[in-house]
Amino acid sequence: GVRVRPKVIGADALVPLADGRRVPYANLDYAASAPCLEAVHEAVTRALPYYSSVHRGAGHASQVTTDAYEAARDTVRGFLGAWRRAAVVFTRNTTDAMNLLAHAVPRGTTVVVFETEHHASLLPWRRAVRLPAPATPAEAIGLADRALAGSPAGPRLLVVTAASNVTGELWPVHELARVAHRHGARIAVDAAQLVPHRRLDMTALGLDYVAFSGHKLYAPFGAGVLAGRSDWLRAADPYLKGGGASASVTASRTRWAPAAEQRHEAGTPNVLGAIAIAAACEALTPHWDALAAHEERLLVRLRSGLAAIPGVRELTLWGRGPRVGIVSFTVDGVPAREVALALSERHGIGVRDGKFCAHPFVRHLLSVNGTEAGGGTPAGDGTAVRASFGLGTTKEHIDRLLAALGRLASEVADTDDWSSSPM
Ligand code: PMP
């Protein structure tokens, strides 16, 4: 890999603390939205002067914009290792991509989904069989195998995440794809938390569908992708009906565009969003090894540091195995919201707290990791804290978080009633 990693913009921002000091922001919330890459910023700036309508105008700017939009689609296809005829539909985000797929599955499709999924992948399906959280990756494969073997004939779809937004753990999507195909089912993978960290090759892994969001891939908000097999998408009515999706319209009859992309991208598309995603794909591609090595160093530092702080408990499903730069934890006796506010107001650290749009999964993790066993503590409110990182994260950010948590934990130990003590 290339040693110099791509740079994010805004990494040197100062943020105010409660005591009025200003400190460099330690952004540990990449899993929610990652900061923008310099290369993405430059690509969008280059495209702005040619900002014009796509697919309709004959003018020069319109042609340049249209070419850039279609080139972005090809870049994404290459980035995902998708086959040449795979559909690559630009959506608003992962949520939109999964809802588009849910809209396009043939009537009567049985969807099999783990309850550990983000709500974006858990909720859109009309008829879903929900599988419980598996205790090991092997159990995940066994559960999927049995569910698909026992499901009724007809179209079937297995939906699973590639990397958990709560624990960062990687799921065995290659093996799950094999299981799905053995049963004549398809597999759709939520790659929102994988593609910012690891190369994903749809063809090599045998994935039928992949969804992700630009704003987690170092590009701005508002654009995402659904890529995969085009037959169901071409057969379904448009997800959005309107201009662009229709091939011909008369008083009595509408014929929809036959290609999956046109059919499901009605209205004026987010061209700058697509260009931004493509720029991020191109900027990341030469750097996977350097990125993984950087994250692994930070991950080891963070996890061993957390393990050494009394009362801090990491949430993990499998405990071991490959993972991306996402770690969730609780602090005994302190509600997650209070932890997150203290980190922000006293230390300039940005983390997320809550249930991370994965309520069943967080509930499960809290029970298996024993954080509610403490009973009676104000931390038992079903929430956790999540630290997540990537290209712009430094050792100093991790060390600042660990020092802050160490201080918080010792304050809790010195206080009988944390909830009434001043922050
Ligand atoms: N899936 C996963 C695994 C996620 O982490 C997220 C974002 N938290 C989503 C789906 C939804 O992404 P978006 O909000 O961009 O639609």
pLDDT per position as a tens digit, 130-166:
999 999 999 999 999 999 999 999 999 999 999 999 9
pLDDT tens string 282-309: 999 999 999 999 999 999 999 999 999 9
HEC secondary structure over 64-124:
HHHHHHHHHHHHHHHHCCCCCCCEEEEECCHHHHHHHHHHHCCCCCEEEEECCCCHHHHCC
pTM value?
A: 0.95
CB of 213 shorter than 6 A to ligand 1: yes
By annotation, the residues acting in catalysis are 357
Q: Which residues contact 391 (CB under 8 A, 6 or more apart)?
A: 5, 6, 7, 8, 34, 37, 218, 291, 294
Q: Whose CA is nearest to atom 15 of ligand 1?
A: 93
CB of 358 shorter than 6 A to ligand 1: no
pLDDT score recorded for residue 374:
43
Task: Tell me the CA–centroid distance for residue 95 and ligand 1, in Å.
Answer: 6
CB of 190 shorter than 6 A to ligand 1: yes
Task: Tell me the CA–centroid distance for residue 192 and ligand 1, in Å.
Answer: 6
Q: Which of 30, 92, 93, 94 to mutate to test the pocket of ligand 1 (most atoms within 8 A of CB)?
A: 94
pLDDT score recorded for residue 373:
44
Task: Give the total residue count for the chain.
Answer: 423
Question: Residue 337 corresponds to which amino acid?
Answer: R
Which domains does the chain carry? 14-36+288-420 (3.90.1150.10), 40-285 (3.40.640.10)
pLDDT score recorded for residue 371:
61
CB of 270 shorter than 6 A to ligand 1: no
At 262, list the tokens. 């046109």
CB of 357 shorter than 6 A to ligand 1: yes
In angstroms, the Cα distances linking 265 to 15, 239, 242, 332 are 39, 8, 9, 48
Task: Tell me the CA–centroid distance for residue 226 and ligand 1, in Å.
Answer: 13
Q: Which of 123, 190, 213 to mutate to test the pocket of ligand 1 (most atoms within 8 A of CB)?
A: 213
What ipTM score was computed for the predicted complex, to two decimals? 0.99
Q: Whose CA is nearest to atom 8 of ligand 1?
A: 32
CB of 230 shorter than 6 A to ligand 1: no
Residue 404's nearest CA partner among 345, 316, 327, 323 is 345
What is the rounded CA–CA span in Å between residue 80 and residue 73?
11
Closest atom of ligand 1 to CA, residue 97:
16
Give CA 372 to chain center in angstroms: 27
**Ranges in the chain, pLDDT < 50:** 1, 373-378, 423
In angstroms, the Cα distances linking 85 to 55, 186, 203 are 20, 17, 12
Q: Whose CA is nearest to atom 6 of ligand 1?
A: 192
What is the rounded CA–CA span in Å between residue 39 and residue 277?
11
Closest atom of ligand 1 to CA, residue 95:
16
What is the rounded CA–CA span in Å between residue 398 and residue 408?
15
Task: Tell me the CA–centroid distance for residue 133 and ligand 1, in Å.
Answer: 19
CB of 211 shorter than 6 A to ligand 1: no
Task: Tell me the CA–centroid distance for residue 350 and ligand 1, in Å.
Answer: 18
Residue with tokens 């005994």: 332
Q: Which of 171, 189, 216, 362 to mutate to test the pocket of ligand 1 (most atoms within 8 A of CB)?
A: 216
